[in-house]
Each structure stands twice: as C-alpha cells, then as structure tokens.
Amino acid sequence: MTGPDTGTTNYAGDSAYVGVQAATVHGGVHYYSLPADPSPAEKFETGVRWLDGSTPDRARQLIHEAIMDGHTGNEVCFYWQLALVSGRTRHEMPEEDAERLRQARTICHVTGGDAWADGVKAISRLLDSAQQPDADLPALLKDFDGLGEIQRAAILRHFELFLEGPLKDQMWHRALQSAKQHQMADSRAERVWKFFQPEPTPPRRRPVRPADISTGTWIRAVVATAVLAVAAIHIGYLLARELQVFALLVYLLGIVGGCCAARSGMEWRFRSERRRAKDEEYGRPRERTTGAPAGGFANKVDQRFDHYFARYVPRDTSRSAWLAGTAGIRKSMRDEIVEIYREQRTGVEKISWLIRYRVGDVKKRWENGTLWSYRWELATPLATKVVALAGLAVFVLGIVWAVESAARIAPLSAVRSVAIALAAGVFAVRAWAHIVLERRRCAADEAESAQMQEDCMAAFERWQAKLADKPSDPEMATWLNRDRKVLLDEALRHYGLVMSNMVAYAFIEAPGSSASRARVLNGPWRYTRYQLLLFLLTADGVRQLSAELDFARGTFHDRGRTNYRYEAVAAVRVRQADDGERSFELVLVNGERIQAKVIGPGMEELEPGETPGVVSEATLDAAGLHHTLHVMEGIAAEGKQWIAQERRRKDDRRHQRSKVADPA
C-alpha cells in the first residue's frame, strides 16, 4: 500500500516530450493503407498486417469485412480466430465476437490438411481444452509443438491473455522461452535505429550564378576592339609605307607581348580574385548574423549544423579552435542548404544525412590538411607572373618605339591614331576582362558544383544502402511484444506468482524520456525508449511495476514498484487534452495520481491520405490501453469484489456455451 502523502506519479510525464529528438513519418510505406476500392483479399492482407503490428481492433474490423465480402479459406480462418482473441481476455470478448469465434471454421469453409488448417484445428482444441479441466494437455501440447513455425509463433503471441488454468501456464512457458530466445533476433540492435530515420531526400545542386555579361558589355568589347584594331593597323601602315622594317617588327613584337601579357594577366587576376572570394566565404564572418525564427526551417538547419559541428570535432583539436576555424565554412554551407531546400517543403530530418555528410567532409579535410588547399591551388605560378610582366615590358617597349617612329613620319595622324588606340584599348581591356573573368568564374563554379553533387550523390547512395534493411512496423511490434513478456516474467518471479494464479494483468506503453518517435502511414507511433507500466492483479491486491525500456538494446532501466489494495483505487480515466494529448490516470483514495502519457501533444499531425483519429486510435490500441482500461475500471468500480464477479462471469459464459453445445 502506498503511503499517506498525496501527489502525482508521472511514469511518462512531461519530460518524455521535452527532449524528443525526432518525429518521423514514413509516408512512402503503406503497410496499413488500403486502395480507394479495396478487394476482399486486400482488406484481409491489410488486416493481417494490423494484427502483426499489435493493433487487433483494426485487424478484426478489416478481416471481418473481407470475410463478409466472400474472402474465405484456411489462412483467413486462422487469422480471423487470432484477431478475435488477440489483446483481450475471454470475459472482455462481446458475445457477438464469441459467436463468430465458435462459427469461424464453418463461416470460412476450412478444408484440407495444410499448415493453416492444422493451425485452425489447434486453435479450436486450445479453446475447447481451456473449458475442460480434465483435458489431455500432453497430447494437446504435442500437437501444438508439431505446428509450423509461423502458426505456432502467431498462436503464442495472440493467445497471451485469452487462455486460463494449467494450459495457460504451459503456453506461457513456451511463449516466454521463445521471447527470450528471439528477443534480439534479426540483428535488432543494429537495425532498430534505422526505423527512426526518415526516407532521405536526394541532394540538390545549388544553381550556379550565371555569368553576369550584359549585351552592352559585349557591344563595348566588340566596338572598342574594332576601333583599336583600326588604329593599330593605321600605325602599322605608316611604318610600312615608309619601309620602317625594324620599327614594324618591334611594333609587331610589342603586340605579341601585349597578347601574352593579357593572357597571363587574366590568369593571374582570376586566381587572385577567386582566392580572395574563397577567403571571404570561408573566413570568419564579419557581421554577426541574427538567429532564424524559432521553429522555422532555417532555425532547424542551424540546430543540425550546431549539433554536428559540436559532435564531429577533429582529433587533436579543441572544440573552440574547431568552431572558430570553421565559422565561415559553417555559415556558407548553412546558407546553401537553406537556399536549396527552404522552398521545397522538405523537413530538415530528411536532409540530416546531407548536413552530417558535409560536416564530416569538413572534418576529414581538416584532419588531412586539405581544408584550405584552395589557397595553394589558386596561387599564381611564378611562370605566369614572369610571362605577364615580361610581356607587358615588351608591349610597352614595342609600342613606344613604334609610336615614336610613326610620329616622325606623320605627327598629326600618328598622334590621332595613338589617342584613339589608347581610349579604345582601355574600353576593350576592361570589357574583355569582365567577360573572360565572369566566364571563368562561372565555369569554375559549375565544376565545383558538379563535383560536390557527385560526392553528395555517392554519400546519398551509401546512406540509402545502409537503410535498406530498415525494420518493418510489424517487426517493431514483435520485438516490443517479446520485451513485454520478459518484463512480465521478471515481475512474476519477483512476486512469486505464476500465470494461472493471477487474476489478470495489463500493460501501458508510453514514450520514454528523450525518445525519438516514428511511424508508418496510418500506423501507431514507435519509440526509441518506452516507459512500460505493468499491473498485476492478484488475490491480495495490485502489484505495479514500471520500467524504462531501451528499445534498441532490449534492456530495462529505472524500475519502480508499487503495491496497493483493490479498495485503494478510486478512479481510472483517460484524459484527452485539446492539443491531442492522451494520458492514462489512476487515482488512489489517498489522492495519489499515477499518470502515463500515452500520446503526447501534437502527435496527431496527419499526412496526406490519413483521416483524423486513425493514428491516435492505432497508438492507443498498440499501447494496450483498451485492455488496461477494462481491467482497472472494473477494479475502480467493484474493488476486490471484481475478482468474484469475474469468476462468476466466466462460469456464466462457460455454462451458456455448454448449453449451446448440448441443447438436450
């Protein structure tokens, strides 16, 4: 019995949502979705998936609809029987479903002797034997053990609550043995985390800024070049007319030197400007950027970059030096990601892989010393500088010599041509420099962008390959079901109980602290950490056990135990808040409240194609809330008399079935 102090015990309280790391919906996975006009076979197959996903209420509905539409057979009957008994005890089953269970073999037209028919017969014998104290259990269990692996595992899983007496102990022993043996099967520890990873969005290329070359620039370049050519030819003509061969050769040599100087000078200038631009991009930001609005896409991108840069610190480097040295790179990459994906309605969780890869690439280049390699890659070679300076010297010498010679021949004409050539040359050089540098810049940006896209696409394909064996939702449900059995066995051993001696038991599953969550379309939420709340109803009262489950490892932590009499239970209810939160609440007579938040606020956010209520109902069903409410509400209403009332209801049902079976 609990102490006299009143209070509230939150077994999955507010902290379960403060630290939620991610919420993922696998919108492309359609385990539980039906087409617009489903066939009976499609309803049945989807119903079986719901059953495998530990949501029997929806499974019962769909399989029943499939049968009513004419879809029958041995396999249909097998899963129909399992759906009817799954997740509830005999006294919880409505009489309508009890009658369906009795008539299942007839309704579904069971024939032949395949593995499914054997499973149907085994279920019928289990149901009959549970009502017969003198049943031949060894023979029954021998037949059961001879079933196929699929049929045997399914029966053990879904008959957990439905059987009674010695048969229940035997079946529980088999179910527990299987759960312990396969608790970490199918590489669970290596695969569970993948379920909580969203389908990654492929990398996108940032549009390269096109070359900024206007029509006016082209006109200036062409016209100025033409005028320059005419003026230069006129000067050459003056020299040739007077047979100034040496001056003409020097003039031509000067022109060649000028061309070489222009070519090498353009290369020199391009490298210098590109290096300076890279320094500005990768250097420490000059101005302090204001934070993006909280909750927006840009703000979430900021958080991911901050997280990964803080996490991926190069070896032999302090975090402060790493963050300071990469401040500019971090801002540049962040701005690029925000620009590319902001207008595409892409959730940041779908590009986390890209952010992680880009940060990891920066770390790798920091460690191998290539992060700033562009500085020497863009450094102008000495030969280029020599050619530029030498060509310029030859150009000046040749032009001066030629102009002086031409001025002696025709002073006025020579001066006029030189003036025109100088003016046109200035315009031509400036225009062509802009054109050449812009085209070089654009080509370099395209090459960098293409290389980055190639690298990111390779990383994307590696990430997709790593997620290829992501577990299905039914696999997640199967692992969780095994964990529940292991925890139930721990509680039974701690309290010295056996299954057949318990009046009843019930589970509540809620998200654990700092848990990530994910679900498939229309499916229940699954979590990386669960808070499990187990109620054991014994002849002396309620034994309550709570534990936090690390789902990937299948380990339990932070156990808590509470015991109280039936008369101590004052009320049981499910609270639904306006924000969609659903919480189970058990109130004791001393005022203590035991709460578990089964669904947190904002978790009913729907994807296209989903209808309101589907996700919450599937989550409540998978969490075991319906069965728990039935048990605990009975305790709250009838106290210890609930035990006698349950036994009386069982006897009444057994008597009614006997009358139906033997009307004489």
pLDDT in tens, 534-579: 999 888 889 999 999 999 999 999 999 999 888 888 888 887 776 6
pLDDT at 19: 37
SS3 599: strand
Same domain, 615 and 548: yes
Same domain, 383 and 265: yes
pTM above 0.85, yes or no: no
Same domain, 134 and 96: yes
Q: Is residue 207 part of a domain?
A: no
Closest by Cα among 658, 583, 664 to 616: 583
Q: Is the pLDDT of residue 426 over 70?
A: yes
Q: Is residue 3 part of a domain?
A: no
pLDDT at 129: 79
> Which of the four pLDDT bands, split at 50, 70 and 90, describes residue 27?
confident
Q: How far apart are the first and last CA of the chain?
A: 51
Same domain, 606 and 495: yes
pLDDT digits (tens, 9 = 90+) for 300-314: 999 999 999 999 999
Residue with the bigger pLDDT between 639 and 258: it is: 258
Spatial distance between the Cα atoms of 606 and 183, rounded to a whole number of angstroms = 32
Same domain, 114 and 156: yes
> Which of the four pLDDT bands, split at 50, 70 and 90, describes residue 344?
low
Same domain, 193 and 276: no
Per mean pLDDT, which range of 333-337, 412-416, 448-452, 493-497 is the poorest? 412-416
Token pair of 557 as six digits: 């932590």
Phi-psi region of 345 (alpha: psi -120 to 50; beta: other; left: phi over 0): left
How many distinct structural domains can be found in the chain? 2
Strand partners, 573: 585
In the block, residue with structure tokens 């189970």: 584
Same domain, 154 and 274: no
| Average pLDDT rounded to a whole number, residues 203-226 | 92
Q: Is residue 202 part of a domain?
A: no
Residue with the bigger pLDDT between 197 and 644: it is: 197
Q: Is the pLDDT of residue 661 over 50?
A: no
Computed over every residue of the chain, the mean pLDDT equals 86
| Average pLDDT rounded to a whole number, residues 614-640 | 82
CB atoms within 10 A of CB 538: 18
Spatial distance between the Cα atoms of 522 and 514, rounded to a whole number of angstroms = 24
Token pair of 196 as six digits: 């909580």
Q: Is residue 2 part of a domain?
A: no
pLDDT digits (tens, 9 = 90+) for 246-273: 988 988 998 999 999 999 999 999 999 9
| Average pLDDT rounded to a whole number, residues 89-114 | 87
pLDDT at 610: 77
Contact 84/60 with Cβ under 8 angstroms?
Answer: yes
pLDDT at 92: 83
Residue with the bigger pLDDT between 606 and 279: it is: 279
Point out the domain boundary residue: 440, 466, 492. 466
Contact 53/31 with Cβ under 8 angstroms?
Answer: yes
Same domain, 34 and 154: yes
pLDDT at 135: 66
Same domain, 317 and 364: yes
Same domain, 296 and 423: yes
Q: Is residue 231 part of a domain?
A: yes
Same domain, 443 and 484: no
Spatial distance between the Cα atoms of 507 and 627, rounded to a whole number of angstroms = 8
* Cα angle 264-268-274, degrees, rounded to a multiple of 5: 140
**Residue 519 DSSP code:** E
Same domain, 426 and 558: no
Residue range(s) defining the domain that contains residue 541: 8-197+476-661
* Cα angle 605-608-614, degrees, rounded to a multiple of 5: 55
> Taking the CA atoms of the chain, what radius of gyration do you get in angstroms?
40
Q: Is the pLDDT of residue 14 over 60?
A: no
In the block, residue with structure tokens 């936090």: 548
| Average pLDDT rounded to a whole number, residues 340-357 | 86
Spatial distance between the Cα atoms of 199 and 233, rounded to a whole number of angstroms = 67
Spatial distance between the Cα atoms of 195 and 520, rounded to a whole number of angstroms = 9
Point out the domain boundary residue: 406, 441, 466. 466
Spatial distance between the Cα atoms of 252 and 241, rounded to a whole number of angstroms = 15
| Average pLDDT rounded to a whole number, residues 211-215 | 91
pLDDT at 84: 94
Spatial distance between the Cα atoms of 184 and 56, rounded to a whole number of angstroms = 24
